[in-house]
Structure 1
Amino acid sequence: MSLDKRKQAFITLGHFLSQFTTSGIVKKEDVPFNDLFFDAFSMQIKRAEEYNSWFTQNNVLFAMESWAKTLSPKNIDQWLQDYSIPDHTDKTIAVIMAGNIPLVGFHDFLCVAICGNKVLAKLSSNDKYFIPLIAKYLEHVEPSFKGTFTFTEEKLQNYDAVIATGSNNTARYFDYYFGKHPHIIRKSRNSVAVLDGNETHEQLEALSDDIFRYYGLGCRNVSKIFVPKNYDFDKLFKAVYKHRDIVKYTKYANNYDYNKAVYLMSLFDIKENGFLMLKEDQSYASPIASLFYEYYHDLDSLKTKLKEESDKIQCITSELNIKDSVKFGQTQVPKLWNYADNVDTVKFLITL
């Protein structure tokens, strides 16, 4: 199967996913194999929260809508234009996926498949229904994909390389078991925002989306902010107010109450507004319903710090001039070439 055929299959997938948006689910007439798959996807979206209570319909639809926009001919061509990708390879790539947010493992699946490899996937129990459905759809769109996708819950065997995503603890396990194979092994990372106090209300509202989307469970969610001394936190609290209804979701509220109790019993000084707690902390990973903050004295010193600690950071968002940062509101809509942990997955695959 040629690269062009694989590209076209994923473009068709993007068109199919465009039916599922946060504005609603609307069936289109010009989508291939819609009679076979539209109802199955619709049902799975509606039932997702039964299997994983963090996968609310809005968050699942946001993920699908984002991928529908990403899988455009322009984006795919721009992404792959500088690579020499073969039409065929006999490599099988084991992919161990996380499940913290909907479709979080899809980018690895896409990279492996579009490079002409076979996918041997081990799905997270938290997100094990959507990608196999996508694989079935791709097999109908492009029959040459049949036999390319394997999903297993058993021990991984007969593979040429590994892409594994997990926590810092599971990364040690991955290193032990997969270290002899070519591999990409990802550990825990978090995303940060850098503010200077001159941000507009609209910019801070966009930042609030980066904080609260997926209840803060993604590695691209902002879990920490850097602010100058004497920063006016009231501006931030006013901007995040649009997400106030998040505390009506029971699991989020339970985490909020639990973490607040821990902070208060530990006599930590926190700022809170009823659905978000701000705590001064040098760590990057804040608990659900919490946002860490740290003061900086000058921007150049902070840039140096962020560079030195880049192995802990997935994404930086800021309206300031910071290298490789994205604008507020953009952390959860990465480009195809924004690789996790800044490791070029396609380059890894085509140089095996």
Structure 2
Amino acid sequence: MTEQKSIVQAFVKLGSFITEFVEKQDHPEIDGLTDFSEVLQKAQHQNGWFTVENIIIALKNWGKLLTKTHLEQWLKKYPFNSNLAPKTIGIVMAGNIPLVGFHDFLCVLLSGNQVLVKLSSNDTVLLPFLTNYLIEQEPLLADRIQFTEEKFENFGAVIATGSNNTSRYFEYYFGKYPSIIRKNRNSVAVLTGHESEAELEALGEDIFRYYGLGCRNVSKIYVPKNYDFDKLFNSVYGFKDIIHQHKYANNYDYNKAVYLMSNMKILDNGFLILKEGESLSSPIASLFYEYYEDVPSLIEKLQEYEAEIQCVVSKGFMKSEIAFGQTQNPSLDDYADGIDTMDFLLSLK
């Protein structure tokens, strides 16, 4: 068995382990899954946004992707060269949603390289736990994976994810190295007014999952003139319990107060604030909207914002659109910022 196949097999076993845990989370003691359950509790305690429910959703998605079929189908299009010596790739991970840097981690190891990980202070327990399981399945990975809290040393390339502000720091320190440096991105939805209740309900998943903290969360909608917002509010009513999460509720109360004191016109249903605005990025518990006159003009506008948009959710609007409710279910070849991470890693000299 080649080295890459051994690593693929380890990730497949990890996927099976994750799926088993998700299916038996209510009875983790049955198959010795208690440790994993405790890790989720630690992650939630460390980061109030990382509810067990949201961590389980993230794990469930990875469990579906880490199968032999999916991994081999993804990898077969790349020209791997087993004669190249492994390089050390530094990954600076974000901490906005659970396991947000796992795809980069996966790419580095399956490309035959070594990974040097700097975890976000908001997400320090999930990946190390999964890493320990991986190493148990394939001991050669012990020398391929390193976590650090210090400045990177002895590395050949960097993948860093952060904000527009941190990207300047990344570019300053890592500019002379081959790198992928990710900045702020947001996702939008284009509505026509003819969406079904089921489609709008699915859009609620794109808006509210992970409390809207991910770049794949819809933070703005484009609607035609005279759009009926009541239809949208009624369709997403099933997400009303999100207001019981105290961090989300604090943001909702604060942003609503700011808008009202500033005499801004808002629409409000008790757990989501709608406000007209041109910005692609809306605060937590808020969703911006903007009217459009015609489809061609809107497509042209979105193309101008291409470097700031992660996903466009719509139905029959454009070729690269994502279906309602699917933003948080990317495939293995659905790369952040549209940059092929695996191709980048394999092109390193």
Normalised by the size of structure 1, how large is the TM-score? 0.95
Aligned residue runs from structure 1 range 300-315, under 5 A: 300-315=296-311
Secondary structure class of the residue paired with 2:143 = coil
Q: Which residue of 2 aligns with 1:21?
A: 22
Answer yes or no: is 1:51 the counterpart of 2:46: yes
Q: Deviations over 1:56-94 (max 9, x none)?
A: 110011110110011122211221111012336320000
Q: Which residue of 1 aligns with 2:91?
A: 95
Indicate which of 233, 238, 243 corresponds to 1:242: 238
Tell me the number of residue pairs that the alignment of Structure 1 and Structure 2 aligns.
346
* 1:143 CA displacement: 1.2
Q: Deviations over 1:188-242 (max 9, x none)?
A: 0000111100000000000001100001111101000011111100010001100
In the alignment, is the contact (CA less than 8 A) between 1:86 and 1:115 conserved in 2?
Answer: no
Unaligned runs of 5+ in 1: none
Provide the C-alpha distance between the structure 2 equivalents of 1:9 and 1:248, rounded to a whole number of angstroms. Answer: 39
Answer yes or no: is 1:65 the counterpart of 2:48: no
Secondary structure class of the residue paired with 1:20 = helix
Answer yes or no: is 1:270 the counterpart of 2:270: no
Provide the C-alpha distance between the structure 2 equivalents of 1:327 and 1:164, rounded to a whole number of angstroms. Answer: 28
Provide the C-alpha distance between the structure 1 equivalents of 2:231 and 2:23, rounded to a whole number of angstroms. Answer: 28
Look up the equivalent residue of 2:53 and give its one-letter code.
N
Q: Which residue of 1 aligns with 2:312?
A: 316
Answer yes or no: is 1:42 the counterpart of 2:37: yes
* 1:23 CA displacement: 7.9
In the alignment, is the contact (CA less than 8 A) between 2:216 and 2:311 conserved in 1?
Answer: yes
Secondary structure class of the residue paired with 1:226 = strand
Provide the C-alpha distance between the structure 2 equivalents of 1:266 and 1:341, rounded to a whole number of angstroms. Answer: 35
Aligned residue runs from structure 1 range 1-352, under 5 A: 2-21=3-22, 24-26=25-27, 35=32, 38-87=33-82, 89-352=85-348
Q: Deviations over 1:262-281 (max 9, x none)?
A: 01111111001010000111
Provide the C-alpha distance between the structure 2 equivalents of 1:125 and 1:22, rounded to a whole number of angstroms. Answer: 29
Provide the C-alpha distance between the structure 2 equivalents of 1:147 and 1:68, rounded to a whole number of angstroms. Answer: 25
Provide the C-alpha distance between the structure 2 equivalents of 1:72 and 1:324, rounded to a whole number of angstroms. Answer: 25
Provide the C-alpha distance between the structure 2 equivalents of 1:320 and 1:243, rounded to a whole number of angstroms. Answer: 26
Look up the equivalent residue of 2:70 and give its one-letter code.
N
In the alignment, is the contact (CA less than 8 A) between 1:20 and 1:61 conserved in 2?
Answer: no
In the alignment, is the contact (CA less than 8 A) between 1:10 and 1:138 conserved in 2?
Answer: yes
In the alignment, is the contact (CA less than 8 A) between 1:190 and 1:221 conserved in 2?
Answer: yes
Look up the equivalent residue of 1:288 and give its one-letter code.
I
In the alignment, is the contact (CA less than 8 A) between 1:202 and 1:239 conserved in 2?
Answer: yes
In the alignment, is the contact (CA less than 8 A) between 2:186 and 2:310 conserved in 1?
Answer: yes
Provide the C-alpha distance between the structure 1 equivalents of 2:179 and 2:22, rounded to a whole number of angstroms. Answer: 35
In the alignment, is the contact (CA less than 8 A) between 2:42 and 2:125 conserved in 1?
Answer: no
Provide the C-alpha distance between the structure 1 equivalents of 2:39 and 2:81, rounded to a whole number of angstroms. Answer: 35
Normalised by the size of structure 2, how large is the TM-score? 0.96
Look up the equivalent residue of 1:8 and give its one-letter code.
Q
Secondary structure class of the residue paired with 1:307 = helix
Determine what percentage of the aligned residue pairs are the same residue: 55
Moved more, 153-162 or 47-56: 47-56
